[in-house]
Amino acid sequence: MQRLQDRVAVITGAASGIGLATARRFAEEGARVVVADLDETAGAKAADEVGGLFVRADVANEDDVVRMYATAFETYGSVDIAFNNAGISPPDDDSILETGIDAWRRVQEVNLTSVYLCCKHVIPYMRRQGRGSIVNTASFVAVMGSATSQISYTASKGGVLAMSRELGVQFAREGIRVNALCPGPVDTPLLRELFAKDPERAQRRLVHVPIGRFARAEEIAAAVAFLASDDASFITASEFLVDGGISGA
Ligand code: NAD
Protein backbone atom coordinates (compact mmCIF):
# COMPACT_ATOMS: atom_id res chain seq x y z
CA MET A 1 0.00 0.00 0.00
CA GLN A 2 1.42 3.36 -1.01
CA ARG A 3 1.39 6.27 1.40
CA LEU A 4 -1.06 8.43 -0.60
CA GLN A 5 -3.01 5.57 -2.18
CA ASP A 6 -6.22 6.91 -3.77
CA ARG A 7 -6.00 10.25 -1.97
CA VAL A 8 -7.25 13.07 -4.19
CA ALA A 9 -4.80 15.96 -4.22
CA VAL A 10 -5.32 19.40 -5.76
CA ILE A 11 -2.03 21.19 -6.39
CA THR A 12 -1.95 24.82 -7.48
CA GLY A 13 1.01 26.05 -9.50
CA ALA A 14 1.58 22.44 -10.51
CA ALA A 15 2.84 23.20 -14.02
CA SER A 16 6.32 24.18 -12.87
CA GLY A 17 8.94 24.04 -10.13
CA ILE A 18 7.90 22.85 -6.66
CA GLY A 19 4.31 22.16 -7.72
CA LEU A 20 5.34 20.01 -10.67
CA ALA A 21 7.86 18.03 -8.60
CA THR A 22 5.14 17.48 -5.99
CA ALA A 23 2.60 16.36 -8.60
CA ARG A 24 5.12 13.74 -9.73
CA ARG A 25 5.89 12.65 -6.16
CA PHE A 26 2.21 12.44 -5.17
CA ALA A 27 1.46 10.33 -8.24
CA GLU A 28 4.37 8.01 -7.42
CA GLU A 29 2.91 7.61 -3.94
CA GLY A 30 -0.50 6.60 -5.32
CA ALA A 31 -2.48 9.87 -5.25
CA ARG A 32 -4.93 11.08 -7.88
CA VAL A 33 -3.59 14.46 -8.83
CA VAL A 34 -5.41 17.54 -10.03
CA VAL A 35 -2.94 19.89 -11.67
CA ALA A 36 -4.17 23.49 -11.38
CA ASP A 37 -2.35 26.33 -13.06
CA LEU A 38 -2.71 29.41 -15.24
CA ASP A 39 -0.39 27.95 -17.83
CA GLU A 40 -2.54 25.71 -20.03
CA THR A 41 0.20 24.17 -22.14
CA ALA A 42 2.56 23.25 -19.31
CA GLY A 43 -0.35 22.35 -17.02
CA ALA A 44 -1.92 19.94 -19.51
CA LYS A 45 1.48 18.36 -20.15
CA ALA A 46 2.09 17.91 -16.41
CA ALA A 47 -1.35 16.36 -15.88
CA ASP A 48 -0.75 13.99 -18.77
CA GLU A 49 2.61 12.95 -17.32
CA VAL A 50 1.20 12.16 -13.86
CA GLY A 51 -2.00 10.55 -15.18
CA GLY A 52 -4.07 13.30 -13.55
CA LEU A 53 -6.51 16.00 -14.48
CA PHE A 54 -5.67 19.55 -15.57
CA VAL A 55 -7.83 22.46 -14.45
CA ARG A 56 -6.98 25.92 -15.69
CA ALA A 57 -7.40 28.24 -12.73
CA ASP A 58 -6.24 31.66 -11.66
CA VAL A 59 -5.91 31.16 -7.92
CA ALA A 60 -6.57 34.84 -7.28
CA ASN A 61 -10.03 34.46 -8.85
CA GLU A 62 -12.71 33.10 -6.52
CA ASP A 63 -14.88 31.61 -9.27
CA ASP A 64 -11.88 29.71 -10.62
CA VAL A 65 -11.03 28.37 -7.16
CA VAL A 66 -14.61 27.20 -6.56
CA ARG A 67 -14.66 25.49 -9.97
CA MET A 68 -11.26 23.88 -9.36
CA TYR A 69 -12.40 22.01 -6.23
CA ALA A 70 -15.83 21.22 -7.68
CA THR A 71 -14.16 19.65 -10.73
CA ALA A 72 -11.83 17.62 -8.52
CA PHE A 73 -14.73 16.39 -6.40
CA GLU A 74 -16.99 15.60 -9.37
CA THR A 75 -14.19 13.68 -11.08
CA TYR A 76 -12.71 11.75 -8.18
CA GLY A 77 -15.33 11.85 -5.39
CA SER A 78 -13.29 13.55 -2.67
CA VAL A 79 -10.67 16.21 -2.01
CA ASP A 80 -8.21 14.91 0.57
CA ILE A 81 -5.13 17.04 0.04
CA ALA A 82 -4.79 20.69 -0.97
CA PHE A 83 -1.31 21.93 -1.77
CA ASN A 84 -1.81 25.69 -2.12
CA ASN A 85 1.44 26.50 -3.79
CA ALA A 86 1.01 28.88 -6.74
CA GLY A 87 2.93 32.06 -6.24
CA ILE A 88 4.83 34.81 -7.97
CA SER A 89 7.88 36.89 -7.33
CA PRO A 90 7.49 40.65 -7.66
CA PRO A 91 8.50 41.89 -11.13
CA ASP A 92 10.99 44.60 -10.16
CA ASP A 93 12.78 46.09 -7.18
CA ASP A 94 10.59 45.06 -4.24
CA SER A 95 12.00 47.40 -1.62
CA ILE A 96 9.49 49.52 0.31
CA LEU A 97 10.56 52.76 -1.39
CA GLU A 98 10.30 51.31 -4.91
CA THR A 99 7.31 48.95 -4.84
CA GLY A 100 4.22 50.57 -6.30
CA ILE A 101 0.74 49.88 -5.03
CA ASP A 102 -0.26 47.86 -8.13
CA ALA A 103 2.72 45.51 -7.83
CA TRP A 104 2.09 45.19 -4.09
CA ARG A 105 -1.58 44.32 -4.65
CA ARG A 106 -0.85 41.75 -7.34
CA VAL A 107 1.66 39.94 -5.12
CA GLN A 108 -0.81 39.88 -2.22
CA GLU A 109 -3.58 38.61 -4.54
CA VAL A 110 -1.60 35.76 -6.03
CA ASN A 111 0.43 34.75 -2.98
CA LEU A 112 -1.89 35.47 -0.06
CA THR A 113 -5.51 36.04 -1.13
CA SER A 114 -5.23 32.85 -3.18
CA VAL A 115 -4.43 30.85 -0.05
CA TYR A 116 -7.41 32.41 1.74
CA LEU A 117 -9.64 31.48 -1.22
CA CYS A 118 -8.27 27.95 -1.54
CA CYS A 119 -8.63 27.22 2.19
CA LYS A 120 -12.10 28.78 2.32
CA HIS A 121 -13.38 26.64 -0.52
CA VAL A 122 -11.63 23.35 0.19
CA ILE A 123 -12.35 23.14 3.93
CA PRO A 124 -16.11 22.45 3.43
CA TYR A 125 -15.22 19.30 1.41
CA MET A 126 -12.74 18.19 4.06
CA ARG A 127 -15.18 18.88 6.88
CA ARG A 128 -17.77 16.64 5.27
CA GLN A 129 -15.16 13.91 4.89
CA GLY A 130 -13.93 14.40 8.46
CA ARG A 131 -10.33 14.57 7.28
CA GLY A 132 -7.94 16.52 5.11
CA SER A 133 -4.44 17.87 4.84
CA ILE A 134 -3.71 21.37 3.63
CA VAL A 135 -0.17 22.51 2.90
CA ASN A 136 0.27 26.21 2.12
CA THR A 137 3.52 27.34 0.54
CA ALA A 138 5.03 30.17 2.54
CA SER A 139 8.82 30.63 2.54
CA PHE A 140 11.75 30.89 4.92
CA VAL A 141 11.39 34.68 4.49
CA ALA A 142 8.14 34.48 6.47
CA VAL A 143 10.12 33.29 9.47
CA MET A 144 13.23 35.44 9.29
CA GLY A 145 12.90 38.11 6.57
CA SER A 146 14.47 38.00 3.12
CA ALA A 147 17.62 40.06 3.78
CA THR A 148 17.16 41.29 0.18
CA SER A 149 14.46 43.95 0.72
CA GLN A 150 11.50 42.05 -0.68
CA ILE A 151 8.65 43.85 1.03
CA SER A 152 5.58 42.66 -0.87
CA TYR A 153 6.83 39.09 -1.18
CA THR A 154 7.90 38.77 2.47
CA ALA A 155 4.65 40.31 3.73
CA SER A 156 2.58 37.94 1.57
CA LYS A 157 4.44 34.89 2.87
CA GLY A 158 4.20 36.10 6.47
CA GLY A 159 0.44 36.24 5.93
CA VAL A 160 0.39 32.67 4.59
CA LEU A 161 2.26 31.47 7.67
CA ALA A 162 -0.03 33.29 10.11
CA MET A 163 -3.18 32.10 8.30
CA SER A 164 -1.96 28.50 8.30
CA ARG A 165 -1.41 28.61 12.06
CA GLU A 166 -4.88 30.06 12.64
CA LEU A 167 -6.58 27.44 10.51
CA GLY A 168 -4.46 24.59 11.85
CA VAL A 169 -5.63 25.38 15.35
CA GLN A 170 -9.25 26.08 14.35
CA PHE A 171 -9.77 22.82 12.48
CA ALA A 172 -7.49 20.47 14.46
CA ARG A 173 -10.39 18.66 16.12
CA GLU A 174 -12.17 18.11 12.82
CA GLY A 175 -9.35 16.03 11.40
CA ILE A 176 -8.11 18.78 9.08
CA ARG A 177 -4.40 19.56 9.36
CA VAL A 178 -3.05 22.83 8.00
CA ASN A 179 0.67 23.46 7.74
CA ALA A 180 2.84 26.17 6.25
CA LEU A 181 5.67 24.87 4.14
CA CYS A 182 8.67 27.20 4.40
CA PRO A 183 11.24 26.34 1.73
CA GLY A 184 14.64 27.94 1.49
CA PRO A 185 15.84 28.92 -2.00
CA VAL A 186 14.87 26.25 -4.53
CA ASP A 187 16.27 25.89 -8.02
CA THR A 188 13.09 26.54 -10.05
CA PRO A 189 12.16 28.86 -12.93
CA LEU A 190 10.96 31.45 -10.36
CA LEU A 191 14.38 31.65 -8.70
CA ARG A 192 16.31 31.45 -11.98
CA GLU A 193 14.32 34.39 -13.35
CA LEU A 194 15.08 36.43 -10.22
CA PHE A 195 18.78 35.67 -10.36
CA ALA A 196 18.97 36.30 -14.12
CA LYS A 197 18.02 39.91 -13.40
CA ASP A 198 20.61 40.21 -10.63
CA PRO A 199 23.29 37.48 -10.83
CA GLU A 200 25.16 38.76 -7.76
CA ARG A 201 22.07 38.18 -5.71
CA ALA A 202 22.44 34.42 -6.21
CA GLN A 203 25.89 34.51 -4.65
CA ARG A 204 24.72 36.74 -1.80
CA ARG A 205 21.90 34.32 -1.10
CA LEU A 206 24.04 31.20 -1.41
CA VAL A 207 26.48 32.23 1.34
CA HIS A 208 23.58 32.15 3.79
CA VAL A 209 22.68 28.52 3.05
CA PRO A 210 24.65 26.30 5.45
CA ILE A 211 24.22 23.26 3.19
CA GLY A 212 25.99 25.29 0.49
CA ARG A 213 23.58 24.94 -2.41
CA PHE A 214 19.99 25.64 -3.39
CA ALA A 215 17.36 22.94 -2.91
CA ARG A 216 16.16 20.72 -5.72
CA ALA A 217 12.39 20.89 -6.20
CA GLU A 218 12.26 17.15 -5.49
CA GLU A 219 13.61 17.74 -2.00
CA ILE A 220 10.73 20.10 -1.26
CA ALA A 221 8.23 17.67 -2.83
CA ALA A 222 9.42 14.94 -0.44
CA ALA A 223 8.56 17.18 2.52
CA VAL A 224 5.14 18.02 1.08
CA ALA A 225 4.36 14.33 0.55
CA PHE A 226 5.26 13.71 4.19
CA LEU A 227 3.06 16.57 5.44
CA ALA A 228 0.18 15.47 3.23
CA SER A 229 0.37 11.88 4.44
CA ASP A 230 -0.71 10.16 7.65
CA ASP A 231 2.96 9.98 8.63
CA ALA A 232 2.45 13.60 9.71
CA SER A 233 -0.78 12.85 11.61
CA PHE A 234 0.32 14.82 14.70
CA ILE A 235 1.67 17.81 12.77
CA THR A 236 -0.60 20.79 12.30
CA ALA A 237 -0.39 24.60 12.55
CA SER A 238 3.36 24.26 12.03
CA GLU A 239 5.94 26.27 10.13
CA PHE A 240 7.68 23.43 8.35
CA LEU A 241 11.13 24.65 7.35
CA VAL A 242 12.96 22.91 4.52
CA ASP A 243 15.70 25.49 4.18
CA GLY A 244 19.13 23.89 4.17
CA GLY A 245 19.78 25.35 7.62
CA ILE A 246 19.25 29.06 6.80
CA SER A 247 16.96 29.73 9.73
CA GLY A 248 19.33 28.03 12.16
CA ALA A 249 22.42 29.97 11.16
P1 NAD B 1 7.49 28.51 -10.47
O2 NAD B 1 7.46 29.85 -11.10
O3 NAD B 1 8.43 27.48 -10.98
O4 NAD B 1 6.04 27.88 -10.46
C5 NAD B 1 4.93 28.65 -10.08
C6 NAD B 1 3.70 28.15 -10.84
O7 NAD B 1 2.57 28.91 -10.38
C8 NAD B 1 3.79 28.36 -12.36
O9 NAD B 1 3.43 27.16 -13.02
C10 NAD B 1 2.78 29.47 -12.63
O11 NAD B 1 2.16 29.36 -13.91
C12 NAD B 1 1.79 29.25 -11.51
N13 NAD B 1 1.01 30.46 -11.22
C14 NAD B 1 1.47 31.73 -11.09
N15 NAD B 1 0.44 32.57 -10.87
C16 NAD B 1 -0.69 31.81 -10.85
C17 NAD B 1 -2.06 32.10 -10.67
N18 NAD B 1 -2.51 33.35 -10.47
N19 NAD B 1 -2.94 31.07 -10.71
C20 NAD B 1 -2.52 29.81 -10.92
N21 NAD B 1 -1.22 29.47 -11.10
C22 NAD B 1 -0.33 30.47 -11.07
O23 NAD B 1 7.77 28.81 -8.92
P24 NAD B 1 8.27 27.89 -7.70
O25 NAD B 1 9.63 28.33 -7.36
O26 NAD B 1 7.97 26.46 -7.94
O27 NAD B 1 7.32 28.48 -6.57
C28 NAD B 1 6.23 27.77 -6.03
C29 NAD B 1 5.89 28.40 -4.69
O30 NAD B 1 7.01 28.27 -3.81
C31 NAD B 1 5.57 29.89 -4.74
O32 NAD B 1 4.52 30.16 -3.84
C33 NAD B 1 6.87 30.53 -4.27
O34 NAD B 1 6.65 31.80 -3.71
C35 NAD B 1 7.30 29.52 -3.23
N36 NAD B 1 8.72 29.53 -2.87
C37 NAD B 1 9.67 29.40 -3.83
C38 NAD B 1 11.02 29.40 -3.46
C39 NAD B 1 12.12 29.29 -4.47
O40 NAD B 1 13.27 29.57 -4.13
N41 NAD B 1 11.85 28.85 -5.69
C42 NAD B 1 11.36 29.54 -2.11
C43 NAD B 1 10.36 29.67 -1.15
C44 NAD B 1 9.02 29.65 -1.54
Identity (one letter) of the amino acid at 112? L
Pocket of ligand 1 contains residue 19 by CB under 6 Å:
yes
Assess: ipTM above 0.90. Answer: yes
CA-nearest residue, atom 10 of ligand 1: 13
Query: Count of residues for the chain?
Result: 249
Residue in 56, 62, 88 to alter for ligand 1 test, most ligand atoms within 8 A of Cβ:
88
Report the alpha-carbon distance of residue 152 to residue 100 in Å, rounded. 10
Task: Report the predicted TM-score, pTM, of the whole model to 2 decimal places.
Answer: 0.98
Pocket of ligand 1 contains residue 12 by CB under 6 Å:
yes
148 Cβ partners below 8 Å, 6+ apart? 201, 204, 205
Structural domain boundaries in the chain: 8-190+216-243
Q: Which of 172, 164, 161, 170 is nearest to 132 (CA)?
A: 172
Distance set, CA 54 to CA 35, 51, 117, 202 (Å): 5, 10, 19, 33
CATH class in words for 8-190+216-243: alpha beta
Pocket of ligand 1 contains residue 85 by CB under 6 Å:
yes
Mind listing the pLDDT tens digit for each residue in 239-248? Answer: 999 999 999 9
Mind listing the pLDDT tens digit for each residue in 131-147? Answer: 999 999 999 999 998 88
Annotated active-site positions, please?
153
